[in-house]
Amino acid sequence: MALPASQSDPSSTLQLSQKAPLLLSTATPASHFFPLTLLEKPETPATWTDYERLFQACLRAGDDKSAHLCLERLTMRFGASDSRVMGLRGMYQEAIATSTEDLERILRSYEKILRADPMNVPILKRRIAIKKSLARPQEAISALVEFLESNATDAEAWCEVADLYHSQGMNAQAIFSMEEALLIAPNAWNLHARMGELEYSSVAAGTESAQATQKLLADAVRRFSRSIELCDGYLRGYYGLKIASHRLLENLDTSTSSTLSDIPPRNVISQLHDHASKKLEHIIDTRSTQIVHSDSARAELIAAQELLDRSC
């Protein structure tokens, strides 16, 4: 079975999970004894990542029975003491937990595992996730910081902590964490755009001085430009570029204090703004005629259309 990689899109997750009973009804691997195993198709590393993906899709779609079956097979292949399988089992238990007490109990079991093996990365991450879902962002942040202390090259964790900081309104820390994530994956255009969003929203909070505001907006414009430079036709990048440059132009108009030296010249910003609007229109025109679309892509298109309508 070859499964699509996209995980963030609800409709494709649902489609995938609906196929689960069919996929799982085929003979289990490693079900025969030695001479027969030679006749079977050899397992590839992709087989087991597919199982993992199927497991997650089933959990998201609420098909706990199929998810349990996936988990059973993974456990059969790699053993219950494998750290990754432990992480998946934890994910399953969290998903079927019905009350806060259940989650607390799972959290305690994680703590027990971690006392025995302090470097069990999947369980460390599950512990953070459970704290997040128990609505204790402060604890999640401190656990993440502790985790990052010893795993400083985990871009995923840096992004997570950036999101948490952002949700707590600590924008400077969020930007710092995002920069760390970018250092690990310097060409990830979505991270560049996310960085621009963080900078833009820290301006929207409106606590900065006029000069700092200008600098942050200019940085945001640069980040969005970079993300477009890395990925042509990146709708999110153009969207951000348009609103950030618009805001910066307004800010340049109203501010009485002298402008900073490293702000790009006014005409460049206004050209960027016009260019972004034009590109957005173009993208909406071409993409809305195509039929195949996931929900999230459609939502992005609608949002962009709305932005254009508002500014015209």
Q: Which residues bind another protein (CB under 8 A)?
A: 43-45, 48-49, 78, 82-85, 118-119, 121-122, 125, 149-154, 176, 179, 182-184, 186-187, 219, 221-223, 225-226, 228-229, 264, 267-269, 271-272, 275, 279
Q: How far is the CB of 117 from another protein (least distance, A)?
A: 8
- Least distance (Å) between residue 22 CB and another protein: 25
Q: Choose between 75 and 294: whose C-beta lies nearer to another protein.
A: 75
Which residue, 132 or 192, has its beta carbon nearer to another protein? 192
Minimum Å gap between C-beta 229 and another protein is: 5
- Residues of 241-278 as b/e, b for ≥16 C-beta within 10 angstroms? bbbbbbbbbebbeeeeeeeeeebeeeeebeebbeebbe
Kindly state the smallest distance separating residue 235's Cβ from another protein, in Å: 15
Q: Which is nearer to another protein, 112 or 310 (CB)?
A: 112
In the complex, the smallest distance separating the C-beta of residue 29 from another protein, rounded to whole angstroms, is 12
CB of 158 to another protein, least distance (A): 11
When the beta carbons of 187 and 207 are compared against another protein, the nearer one is 187
Choice between 57 and 228, CB closer to another protein: 228
Residue 217's nearest CA partner among 194, 191, 198, 237 is 198
Q: Please tell me the distance from the alpha carbon of residue 73 to that of residue 48, in angstroms, as a whole number.
A: 9
**27 phi and psi, to 5 degrees?**
-55, 140
Instruction: Report residue 169 as tokens.
Output: 């309104």
Helix axes 295-311, 10-18, angle to 10 degrees: 170
Q: Are 256 and 232 contacting, i.e. CB atoms less than 8 angstroms apart?
A: no
Give the Cα separation of 167 and 170 in Å (integer).
8
In the chain, alpha helices (H): 10-18, 20-25, 34-37, 45-61, 64-78, 83-96, 100-116, 121-133, 137-150, 155-167, 171-184, 189-204, 210-230, 235-254, 266-289, 295-311
Cβ proximity to another protein, 129 vs 184, nearer residue = 184
Residue 228 or 304 with smaller CB distance to another protein:
228
Q: 79: which residues sit within 8 A by CB, 6+ positions away? A: 85
CB of 115 to another protein, least distance (A): 13
Closest approach of Cβ 151 to another protein, in Å?
6
- The Cα–Cα gap between 124 and 110 comes to 8
Question: Which CB, 96 or 183, lies closer to another protein?
Answer: 183
Find out whether 175 and 220 touch, Cβ atoms under 8 Å.
Answer: no
